[in-house]
Amino acid sequence: MTPNTDPTQKKTTGNNQNCTNVSIFAVFCLSHVTLTLATLSLKMGQTKQEQSPMCVHKRINQIGRAMLMVTAGLIAAGLIASSLAAGAHAQTYSISQNGKSVGDASLRVSSTAQGFRVSSSAKIAMTDLNYSFNATQTLDGSFHLVAVNLSGLVNGTAATVTAEQRNQTLQIKMSGNGKGSETPLAVHPNSILWPDFDPGALQVLLNLGAASNNRDLWAVIPKQTGSVLPLKITTNADEHGALDGKPITVHHLTVSFDGGGVEIFSNPENELVQAEWTDEGFALVRQGFKLLPPARPHTAPPAPQPKPPTGPSQN
């Protein structure tokens, strides 16, 4: 599959690296200042210790503990800031059916002042299905759905979907084939917009699932007038794979709901690497990833079978 050569991606990556370096440098500077203050406090305490040893010694311990706690907090905050600064990234995926390439997809997750923005797209070209879409999800800092804007084509017919949380409901508007609808849907905190073959929806599910122990997740289905369905998630045994030639552990979830289901695979960083719609034979695979078959368990060789008894020789 052709790698993503978008020059804006390289520029973004460079900016993110600079932000990460600045964040880490700031953390170490702040940590150095904090430790310096702790040292000065200890020296001041030692000067006063001759006058009141027990009282000053207790005060020194309190100051030292407080300074260490502040330092630890600064380091943790810096690591979080560094992670968010490097959060904007893009991935490309291939889409196949029964092993034959039929399309591709892309995913970009970036941090914003209010939370996150998830941009995704997919395109499938088949004899009986021409399907494409571009979607942007606006999420809060916990990956909860705030707003959605989606436009697409299904066999030549244009369709649009917009959704926004308003007055404790998710107001979803859909138009296509000359018709339109607006439906208020019940808001669930862990709701996920669920277009077909959307890597963005699958990645949001992974993030929400990690925070909620894979419980109480709901799919917003953008079909007809819109509907909300509960998702059942089953955690399977880890598998093995290779990403960019390096072996990795692969987490495996089975997601099922009324009318469908999907197998989702992620790397140790909880990033989507593969999805399979087994009933239809479709698969979505991240560029550079390969799911490896599990190692066969060692089995002992079969025991030799006893020879049948030999009858008496005939003379």
22-78 tens-digit pLDDT: 444 443 444 443 434 444 443 444 444 444 443 444 444 444 444 444 343 333 333
Rounded mean pLDDT of 250-264?
A: 94
Rounded mean pLDDT of 224-243?
A: 94
* Domain assignment of residue 312, yes or no: no
Residue 139 and residue 49 share a domain: no
pLDDT of the residue at 307: 56
Q: Which residue has the tokens 């025991």?
A: 303
* Domain assignment of residue 40, yes or no: yes
Structure tokens at 136: 């942007």
DSSP for residue 216? S
Residue 240 and residue 101 share a domain: yes
What domain range is 156 assigned to? 89-292
pLDDT of the residue at 177: 84
Range in 63-77, 113-127, 217-231, 274-288 the model is least confident about: 63-77
pLDDT of the residue at 299: 52
Residue 199 and residue 141 share a domain: yes
H or E element in which residue 158 lies: strand 157-166
Q: What are the contacts of 276-279 at 24+ separation with CB within 8 A?
A: none
* Domain assignment of residue 303, yes or no: no
Residue 95 and residue 38 share a domain: no
* Domain assignment of residue 108, yes or no: yes
H or E element in which residue 255 lies: strand 246-257
Domain C-terminal end among 40, 64, 85: 85
Residue 171 and residue 104 share a domain: yes
Residue 177 and residue 259 share a domain: yes
Asked if pLDDT for residue 214 goes beyond 80, the answer is yes
Residue 71 and residue 193 share a domain: no
Rounded mean pLDDT of 277-285?
A: 95
Give the Cβ contact number of residue 14 at 10 Å.
Answer: 10
* Domain assignment of residue 93, yes or no: yes
Rounded mean pLDDT of 300-305?
A: 58
Distance CA 131, CA 192 (A): 20
Distance CA 248, CA 41 (A): 47
Give the Cβ contact number of residue 308 at 10 Å.
Answer: 6
Q: Which of 273, 272, 270, 263 is nearest to 242 (CA)?
A: 273
Distance CA 176, CA 154 (A): 9
Q: Which residue has the tokens 């995926």?
A: 93
Instruction: Burial-class residue 194 by CB neighbours within 10 Å (0-12, 13-18, 19+).
Output: buried
* Domain assignment of residue 300, yes or no: no
Full-model pTM: 0.68
Residue 190 and residue 158 share a domain: yes
Asked if pLDDT for residue 314 goes beyond 80, the answer is no
Confidence band, pLDDT 50/70/90 cuts, at residue 187 = confident
Residue 243 and residue 172 share a domain: yes
Do residues 119 and 135 touch, judged by C-beta distance below 8 A? Answer: yes
Residue 16 and residue 101 share a domain: no
Distance CA 283, CA 72 (A): 44
* Domain assignment of residue 33, yes or no: yes
- Number of structural domains in the chain: 2
* Domain assignment of residue 260, yes or no: yes
Do residues 287 and 93 touch, judged by C-beta distance below 8 A? Answer: yes
Q: Tell me the pLDDT tens digit for each residue of 117-163.
A: 999 999 999 999 999 999 999 999 999 999 999 999 999 999 999 99
